[in-house]
Amino acid sequence: MDNLRVFSGPSFLAVLANRAVLVIAPVVDASSILTGLVWLAIRPKSISVVRATYLLSMVNWIADWRV
């Protein structure tokens, strides 16, 4: 969430500056906000590696716990 706050302010100012240079009305509509949120939601997630020994010990622990 902190990364969002760090980048959102300067990004918003960059959009306003771009629209001022290109003489476009600085209007923000719901579709552009929703598009940005969708792009944030579908960005790739990091994948963590799990060793098989840890997985097997967890499976054995669950099997012992159920008995």
Q: What is the pLDDT of residues 2-59, one digit of tens each?
A: 666 677 778 878 887 887 887 766 666 667 777 777 877 787 777 777 677 777 787 7
Residue 21 has what pLDDT?
83
Q: Where are the alpha helices (DSSP H) in the chain?
A: 2-21, 30-41, 52-66
- Quickly state the pLDDT bin for 67 (edges 50, 70, 90): low
Residue 17 has what pLDDT?
84
Residue 26 has what pLDDT?
62
Residues 6 or more apart from 20 whose CB is under 8 A from it? 26
Does the pTM exceed 0.75? no
Calpha distance 34→1 (Å, rounded): 17
